Amino acid sequence: MLRASIYRGTVGHIRLHPKSHKLRYRVFSFLLDADTIHKTARTSHLFSYNRFNVFSFYDSDHKPEGFSSVADYVRQQLRQAGLGDHSHRISVLCYPRLFGYVFNPLTVYFCYDKNQKLGAIIYKVTNTFREQRSYVIPVGEDPDDLIKQNCSKELYVSPFNEQEGTYAFTVSPPADRVSIAIAYSHNNRDVLKTYFKGEAFEFSDRELLKLLFTYPLMTFKVTAGIHMEALWLWLKGLKVHKHRRVKKFSVSIVAEGKDQGVG
């Protein structure tokens, strides 16, 4: 079973403080099984694994050197967090490279045990400096349809937000639909809410071809959109916060209500 899907949907940003601002645009994401991406690529003329194509997935976009694959890197994070039992299946929700280019502000890893029970979610946030921080968070024993998690924000992302703060995640795991909502707050004040909502479609060359014409140059537009929105916010007079450099790849383990930085 390849467990690959395409999710077509919408990304939205709602800024609440210090000034209101909204944006909404259509996107698509791939859901890939971290262990069978190479097999998925063999079924497609338009999608490749670790080599150029119209659509592609490169391990190097998601892991540091020293790991053989993204699956290897994610399993190491799960072991560090004491969540190794939930590494039987790892599903990656992300943007693919399109004509060799991608920028993933958020990549989400859904981690399952041998009974196919979701036991952990890893949220990998990437900023425009290509610095990445993964937040490894266990899922409760009896999760509802909507999973709610939170952690401390520890990476500079938007120049108009403080580096510190709190993330609150509300997630509906991948099925016929998927949704990821993130609320960012600072000093107990709601600052920004973002979301992705998508509907599942078959992973096939026919559907990939539709994406090519329905969402032309989407990954380029994501980066362009980020910079255009930054310009609008700057023109609205929002304060720009200074970037403090961190390691390119870093991890925060969130367990038993505590955040523990690693790497």
CA atoms of 4 and 209, how far apart (whole Å): 16
What number of other Cβ atoms are within 10 A of residue 215's Cβ? 16
Amino acid, single-letter form, for residue 197: K
Report the pLDDT value the prediction gives residue 217, as an integer from 0 to 100.
Answer: 84
Contacts 24+ apart (CB under 8 A), 61-65: 61/97, 61/102, 61/104, 62/92, 62/94, 62/107, 62/124, 63/249, 64/248, 64/249
Report the pLDDT value the prediction gives residue 198, as an integer from 0 to 100.
Answer: 97
Report the pLDDT value the prediction gives residue 23, as an integer from 0 to 100.
Answer: 84
- Every domain of the chain and the residues it spans: 5-262
Report the pLDDT value the prediction gives residue 3, as an integer from 0 to 100.
Answer: 81
Residues of the chain with pLDDT under 70: 1-2, 142-144, 160-161, 225-227, 229-237, 255-263
Report the pLDDT value the prediction gives residue 113, as an integer from 0 to 100.
Answer: 95
Report the pLDDT value the prediction gives residue 1, as an integer from 0 to 100.
Answer: 47
CA atoms of 86 and 118, how far apart (whole Å): 7
Q: Write out pLDDT tens, residues 17-47.
A: 877 778 888 999 999 999 999 999 999 999 9
Which stretches of 82-174 are assigned E, i.e. beta strand?
89-94, 97-98, 106-112, 118-126, 132-138, 147-153, 165-172
Report the pLDDT value the prediction gives residue 47, as an integer from 0 to 100.
Answer: 98
